Amino acid sequence: MGNNGRMAAAPHRVDVAIVGAGFAGMYMLHRARSAGFSTHVFERGSGVGGTWYWNRYPGARCDVPSLEYSYQFSEELQQEWEWSEKYATQPEILRYAEHVADRFDLRRDISFETTVQSLNWQNNAWRVSTTSGATLARFVVLATGCLSAANVPRFPDDDLYKGNTYHTGNWPHEGVDFSGKRVAVVGTGSSGIQSIPVIAEQAEYLTVLQRTPAYSVPARNQTLSPDYVASVKANYGEFRRKNSLTRAALGGDTPTGPQGACEVSDQERHNALEVRWQKGGLLFLGAFNDALTNPTSNRLIADFVREKIRTTVCDPETARKLMPDAVIGCKRLCVDTDYYETFNRHNVSLIDLREQPIQRFTESGIVFTRPDTDGVGKPQTIEHEFDAVIFATGFDAMTGAINKIDIQGRDGQLLADVWSEGPVNYLGLSVHGFPNLFMITGPGSPSVLTNMIVSIQHHVDWITECIAQLGDSAKTTIEADSEAQREWVEHVNTVAGMTLYTSCSSWYLGTNIYGKPRVFMPLPGFPAYAQRCAEIARDDYRGFVTR
């Protein structure tokens, strides 16, 4: 999708510069403009949509229901837009983003195909240097997305490989035809699990290269019934309000079970999990209230999923390899359509990279080290030929896209240096030493543990109110106080430490990226966080320094 031939030239000076035209940047533009600020957005893609602009891999769709994964700032918008399925596909979400851009006339203030390279705080303003010039801005809002810096791992001799390679997060706009092709998919997170069943239907042969098996629950996607849509739309405000009161800001109609998984009989537990399994989706983990706090409860819930894998996958050896042994929900839960069933197809096989690691690439494929030896202790190898290799290997999450920008704050300090041991911040919104710079859904906020659109709207509304109030005062700058920031980082670590989230390697912890500090980045619990943000604003922006 392009920008319909319209390309806004960046002004020399604006009140608010926004980096990124995904759902966060688009709404930030709308709000800041409506509040009377001159505003401009810089976007590296050629169209709006962010995550949904880049992630065009086969099978891409959202795992939050479409009636929830949508803006709520405009009653007219939420009434007029028609979602077709329970979980919207990537093309439908992108159409929605484009509709919003048109409806609110956003494109006239967006420079597409323009990458922000550096931000420098000089003389009480940010100098925003981009691939097409520089703009001075009083405020900068980083709407860079949490999952937008692709992680493409390197392997020995991968430059020799002559087949095609792809990353799910940077998929060709024209699509890819895998008919008659031998395809490898590396990675079995959400992107791999969504794309594998769809690619398997087209490719001649699909080999899945799995390093860590993931837990996945069925989506049970379906066409939305007009009656259900009408019932939600008749009371959309209340529907949204109920969702925002849940920990993940989603699924208010299906509250978390009132008991722990160990507090009920085996039969009751099985029944409760079966009901959620049949319903499908992320709320499976909400059957019991201690899934992510009590290791025994977690194991019982994980056992249920392992049993589902065992009874779904016909080949016992493949089923064994697909069964995760880690804490369920520690890595983000996946939601699929026919993922485990796909391994019953004649044209699909699984390689467990923990037993059979990648040794090197060749011109035509990949050489794996086999678990057996030649009898004198030397490992055997085996080569598989592939016409295409797809990397579903995830992202440098939450901080990756921010760190790609050279950000120099007060007194010349670099954000990269300040964050060398982890992304310190206050409320996930602001960093000490970086005045008038805000992050949307940054580390230190609930962000990726929630329905992202709810968290985005919450942050945009808070930031807009904050800068409007600053404008009403005689002050010109606002930034996090260093002590408030220290306490906030401690708070996030304490809350995360009370959960099982920190018990495994995951992108939440940054362990998927070599050399990245191991810090749990998001803050569990949306309602308490939103309440805290509101209190702080009411208390004259406690913990912020204004000058």
Q: Which residues bind ligand N01 (CB under 6 A)?
A: 62-63, 147, 153, 168, 186-192, 194, 211-212, 332, 335, 353, 392-395, 448, 507, 512
Q: How far is the CB of 306 from ligand N01 (least distance, A)?
A: 17
Task: For the CB of residue 23, give the shortest distance to ligand N01 in the complex, in Å.
Answer: 13
Contact 280, 64 (CB under 8 A): no
Minimum CB distance to ligand N01 smaller for 72 or for 191: 191
Q: Which is nearer to ligand N01, 147 or 424 (CB)?
A: 147
Determine the 3-state secondary structure of 86 from DSSP.
coil
| Residue 133, C-beta contacts closer than 8 angstroms, at least 6 positions apart | 10
CA 316 from centre of chain: 33
- Closest approach, Cβ 104 to ligand N01, in A, equals 24
Nearer to ligand N01, 146 or 415 (CB): 146
Indicate the residue among 62 and 521 with the shorter CB distance to ligand N01: 62
CA–CA distance, 247 with 233 (Å, rounded to integer)? 23
Residues with Cβ within 8 Å of 386's Cβ and at least 6 positions away in sequence, in order, are 163, 182, 183, 184, 207, 364, 365, 366
3-state secondary structure 390-459: EECCCECCCCHHHHCCEEECHHHCEHHHHCCCCCCCECCCECCCCCCEEECCCCCCCHHHCCHHHHHHHH
Q: What single string gives the DSSP state of each residue in 147-200?
A: S-SB-----TTGGG--SEEEEGGG--TT----BT-EEEEE--SHHHHHHHHHHH
In the complex, what is the shortest distance from the CB of residue 35 to ligand N01, in angstroms, rounded to a whole number?
A: 31
Name the token pair of 191. Answer: 């992107």
Q: What is the nearest approach in angstroms of ligand N01 to the Cβ of residue 159? A: 16
Question: Between residues 153 and 252, which has the closer beta carbon with respect to ligand N01?
Answer: 153
Nearer to ligand N01, 187 or 442 (CB): 187
Closer by beta carbon to ligand N01, 25 or else 510:
510
- Which letter does DSSP use for residue 108 in this model? G
Q: How far is the CB of 307 from ligand N01 (least distance, A)?
A: 22
Q: Are 193 and 214 in contact (CB under 8 A)?
A: yes
Instruction: Give min distance, CB of 194 to ligand N01, in A.
Output: 6
Nearer to ligand N01, 196 or 407 (CB): 196
Instruction: Give the CB-side neighbour count of residue 320, counting CA atoms within 13 A.
Output: 5
Strand residues in 65-132 grouped as ranges (E) = 110-111, 116-122, 125-130
Q: Which two tokens stand for residue 220?
A: 């049970």
Tell me the closest approach of the beta carbon of residue 448 to ligand N01, in angstroms.
6
